[in-house]
Amino acid sequence: MNIQIKISKKPIEYSRAINFLESRIEKIQKNEENELIWILEHPSIYTAGTSYKENEILDKSINLYKTNRGGKITYHGPGQLICYFVLDLNKRNKDIRKLINIIENTITQTLKEYKITSSADRKNIGIWITQEKKLKKIAAIGIRVKKWIAYHGFSINIKVDLKKYEKIIPCGIKDKDVINLYSIKKQNYNNLGKQLSKNFINNLKI
C-alpha cells in the first residue's frame, strides 16, 4: 500500500490545502500519484460544510469559508492538529462507513496511547471525551467522496483557543462543548501527528 505521509511544520492556508487535495484526486484517478495522508495546522478560519444552517452562526461578523466537505460549521486554528487524506475507495470495496470507522478507531487508539480515553458517538459524529460527567468533543470529522475517492479529513484539538467556538454552534450541536487535549492531560503532543498517521495506515491495511 503506497500512501504518502506529508507533515507540514508551518501553518497552511485552508484554500491552498483544499486545492492541493483536489489536484491529488485527479492525479490518483490517472494513476499518476499515490494516496495521501497530510498532517498540518491552519491559520485561524471558520469553515462551513454542505449541511450547515445560517442560524448556526452566532456572531455574524465572522468570515466564513464555504467548503464542499460534509458536515456543518467548525473552527480551525493554531493548536489544532488537522489530518487530511486522499484515499481511493475503489480499492476498498467502496465502503464509506468502514472508512469512518477506521478514522474513529485511529483517533481513539492514538489517544489511548497518550493515556486518554475517548469514544465515538453514534448520534453525533466525531470523537468525544467524558469530563465532569459531560460529553465534550475532542475531534471533528468531515469528509467528501468524489468518484469513490475520499478526501478532507479530521481535526483534533490540542491547545486551540476554545473561545473561537463561542461564535458558532460547532458541528450544529448546541448542548455539548468542545475541549482540548492539553486541558485533559498536560503532556507533550509534538509526535501526535506521526503516531496518528502510523496508526491510520496500519488500520487501513486491516
pLDDT single digits (tens) 138-171? 999 999 999 999 999 999 999 999 999 999 998 8
Question: For residue 36, how many other CB atoms are within 10 A of its CB?
Answer: 20
Query: Residue 114: phi, psi to the nearest 5?
Result: -100, 15
Query: What band does 52 get if pLDDT is binned at 50, 70 and 90?
Result: very high
CA angle centred on 32, ends 49 and 36, rounded to 5°: 45
pLDDT at site 4 = 96
Q: Which residue has the cell 486522499?
A: 86
Among 112, 113, 91, 109, residue whose Cα is nearest residue 101: 109
Return the CATH number of the domain spanning residue range 3-200.
3.30.930.10
What are the catalytic residues? 171
Residue 165 CA to residue 178 CA, distance in Å, equals 8
Where do the domains of the chain lie?
Answer: 3-200
153's torsion region: left (phi>0), alpha (psi -120 to 50) or beta? left
In single-letter form, the type of residue at position 140 comes to A
- Reported as a single tens digit per residue, the pLDDT across 89-123 is 999 999 999 999 999 999 999 999 999 999 998 88
- Residue 52, CA distances (Å) to 2, 123, 140 in order: 35, 17, 14
